[in-house]
Amino acid sequence: MADYDFDVLVIGSGPGGYVAAIRAAQLGLKTGCVESRETLGGTCLNVGCIPSKAMLHASEFYDHAANGMMAKMGIKVTPELDLDTMHGQRKDAVKQLTGGIEFLFKKNKVEWIKGHAAFTAADTVQVGDRSVRAKNIVIATGSSVTPLPGVEIDQKVVVDSTGALELPKVPEQMVVIGGGVIGLELGSVWRRLGAKVTVVEFLDQILPGFDGEVRKESNKILKKQGLEFKLSTKVTGVTVKGDKATLTVEPAAGGAAETIEADTVLVSIGRKPNTDGLALDKAGLGTNQRGQIEIDHDFRTSVPGIWAIGDVVPGPMLAHKAEDEGIAVAENIAGQHGIVNHDVIPSVVYTWPEIAGVGLTEEAAKERGEVKVGKFPMLANSRAKTNHEPDGFVKVIADAKTDRVLGVWCIASVAGTMIAQAAQAMEFGATSEDIAYTCHAHPTHSEAIKEAAMAVTGKPIHV
Ligand SMILES: Cc1cc2nc3c(=O)[nH]c(=O)nc-3n(C[C@H](O)[C@H](O)[C@H](O)COP(=O)(O)OP(=O)(O)OC[C@H]3O[C@@H](n4cnc5c(N)ncnc54)[C@H](O)[C@@H]3O)c2cc1C
């Protein structure tokens, strides 16, 4: 170790970075983690997964009370929104969880170096007035909001996801630019609390990357809830006057422009890797055309001793993918064999109902060969029906010859929880028959996965 400060220095304390740091320390390596934010936990804990789920969870209760769901179960209530308290419980969740990472750092003897890291050499970074030298450096700097050219985010009228989590009052008319996961989740929060929400999406369907049938059905369900969609439509300009915005939109294929008025515009067209200010060139590193740091199967960059994980490298920008890469990279640095199976990374949209999938879409699976598909509607699942949650379905896609499960997709109130068993089955190389003959507790939503698996070979019981 001689003149190294650390065996492992992690840059960034998001779910990739903090997990890598903790695992490296657990493996006996002297570990530091540089974070420029005031609190640990990265995008996920501070302005991403956690605060958005806090608002989704609370607004779901409000919606159930306001829109007749509770009345259906014999509970008559007229809800009154206390937005300050709702925001308060969001902030509290963030505070507790970011504080929890600080506790785990102390417990595992990970040193938190506060400040912004920039490379000065392949094994050295500068943080404020401190030069830190490490045998291994893990870049886990994450991602930030992709700006829309010509549209200025003022966090008042035109907001990004961080601003949309903190709106001080419910907008009357909100326009969401981008029908991806973040836009649909945050659009749902404010629609539930009373805003009229229009989602403008350039593509001809929401949720790019998801299974085609799931995309279509999700659109139908969300529309029924009151979200308005303008698909195949591009935003060509946003002008703000006072506390109102006017958006100019036109058909993606060209055609007559129209305007939409809004008091809040959410720009959610995607996220870009964070490498600005890292001085990668000083370490002999660069980025690919998408701004990402390229890595090999073991998370090594092209420079020995520098590794990269999470949103800053290619692959889905998801917290659990970053976490698994964090564990694997630390194990690889320690000389173990850390592996992440990138074919089995679940994706979840936390709308109501939730939308989840793992593995291949039906379209992608069909491109690879012959498949068999089994479907089961949530309407026929006893628990979903009893709970007044009839929307959605489960779809199991299996290889026609081997029956091996290639993909599973669910729309269900608890799809995010249900998809875990599909991921585990796929990780173990399960066939649809394996899932179909696994005993599932009754009455649970998960029985729909069993029945969809039974439907692959044509024998579900309840339809
Ligand atoms: C609104 C929203 C909701 C989301 N919901 C979900 C969800 O439900 N589920 C899910 O899986 N994913 C979700 N995501 C995505 C998820 O947050 C990211 O995939 C995840 O945080 C990526 O982790 P990471 O460790 O790669 O980077 P990040 O979490 O982005 O953390 C990187 C950290 O590095 C720090 N940093 C950057 N550069 C430097 C530097 N040079 N020096 C020091 N520090 C630096 C940053 O300050 C940041 O704290 C959501 C994202 C958003 C915005």
Distance 453 CA to ligand 1 centre (A): 35
Looking at the chain, the whole-number percentage of residues with pLDDT higher than 90 is 98
Report, as an integer, the average pLDDT of 422-428.
98
Query: 252 falls in which pLDDT band (50, 70, 90)?
Result: very high
pLDDT at 20 over 70: yes
For residue 321, which atom of ligand 1 is closest to its CA? Answer: 11
Give the span between the Cα atoms of 161 and 159, in whole angstroms. Answer: 7
For residue 47, report the distance from its CA to the centre of ligand 1, in Å.
Answer: 8
Residues 178, 47, 43: CA angle, nearest 5 degrees: 95
Query: 102: CA distance to ligand 1 center in Å?
Result: 17
Binned at pLDDT 50, 70 and 90, residue 4 comes out as very high
What pLDDT score was predicted for residue 458?
84
CA of 16 relative to ligand 1 center, distance in Å:
8
> Which of 18, 22, 37, 44 is the best mutation target for the ligand 1 pocket, counting ligand atoms within 8 Å of the beta carbon and taking the most?
44
Q: Is it the case that residue 459 has pLDDT exceeding 90?
A: no
The amino acid present at 413, given as its one-letter code, is S
pTM: 0.97
Beta-carbon contacts of 214 under 8 Å, excluding residues fewer than 6 positions away, are 207, 355, 357, 361, 395, 409, 411
Per-residue pLDDT, averaged over 399-428, amounts to: 98
How far out from the chain centre does Cα 201 lie?
18
Torsional class of 218: left (φ above 0), alpha (ψ -120 to 50), beta (otherwise): alpha
Using the mean position of ligand 1's atoms as its centre, give its distance from the Cα of residue 12 in Å: 9
Domains of the chain plus CATH, in order, are 6-144+272-333 (3.50.50.60), 158-269 (3.50.50.60), 353-456 (3.30.390.30)
Atom of ligand 1 nearest to the CA of 145: 53
Distances (CA, A) of 157 to 135, 186, 218, 262, 349: 46, 15, 28, 8, 25
The average pLDDT across 123-131 equals 98
Integer CA distances (angstroms), 4 to 30, 31, 134, in order = 10, 11, 5
Residues with beta carbon inside 6 Å of ligand 1? 11-17, 34-37, 42-44, 48-49, 52, 116-117, 140-143, 161, 182, 274, 277-278, 310-311, 317-320, 322, 350
Mean per-residue pLDDT for 13-39? 98
Among candidate residues 64, 337, 442, 462, the one labeled active-site is: 442
442 is catalytic: yes
Nearest CA to ligand 1 atom 27: 142
Which is the closest atom of ligand 1 to the Cα of 326? Answer: 25
Q: What pLDDT shows up at residue 261?
A: 97
Token pair recorded at residue 335: 């000389």
Q: What is the pLDDT of residues 174-223, one digit of tens each?
A: 999 999 999 999 999 999 999 999 999 999 999 999 999 999 999 999 99
Cα–Cα dist 52/50, whole Å: 5
CA distance 263 to 54: 23
| Contacts (Cβ under 8 Å, ≥6 apart) of 398 | 371, 372, 373, 374, 404, 405, 406, 431, 432, 456
The pLDDT of residue 239 is above 80: yes
Q: Is the pLDDT of residue 266 over 90?
A: yes
Q: Identify the residue whose C-alpha is closest to ligand 1 atom 34.
A: 12
pLDDT for 1? 52
Q: How far apart are CA 192 and CA 205, in angstroms?
A: 22
Both tokens assigned to 219:
């659109």
Instruction: Using the mean position of ligand 1's atoms as its centre, give its distance from the Cα of residue 200 in Å.
Output: 25
Q: What is the mean pLDDT of the chain?
A: 97
Nearest-atom index, ligand 1, CA of 278: 41
Nearest CA owner, ligand 1 atom 37: 141
Nearest-atom number in ligand 1 for the CA of 165 is 1
Rounded to an integer, the average pLDDT of 422-437 is 98
CA distance 410 to 347: 10
Task: Give strand pairing partners of 159.
Answer: 266
Residue pLDDT, tens place only, 435-453: 999 999 999 999 999 999 9
Rounded to whole angstroms, how far apart are CA atoms 13 and 202?
A: 33
* DSSP annotation string for 247-305: EEEEETT----EEEEESEEEE-S-EEE--TTS-GGGGT----TTSPPP--TTSB-SSTT
**Distances 324 to 82, 163, 228, 398 between C-alpha atoms, Å:** 38, 29, 36, 26
Atom 2, ligand 1: residue with shortest CA distance:
48
Site to probe by mutation for ligand 1, drawn from 39, 55, 141 as the one with most ligand atoms within 8 Å of Cβ, is 141
Closest-CA residue, ligand 1 atom 53, reads: 48
pLDDT in tens, 89-99: 999 999 999 99
Q: Is 235 helix (H, G, I), strand (E, B) or coil?
A: strand
For 295-332, write each residue's pLDDT tens digit: 999 999 999 999 999 999 999 999 999 999 999 999 99
What pLDDT, on a 0 to 100 scale, did the predictor assign at position 81?
98
> Could you tell which of 34, 38, 49 is best to mutate to test the pocket of ligand 1, judged by most ligand atoms within 8 Å of the CB?
49
How far is it, in rounded angstroms, from Cα 326 to Cα 341? 13
2 pLDDT more than 80: no
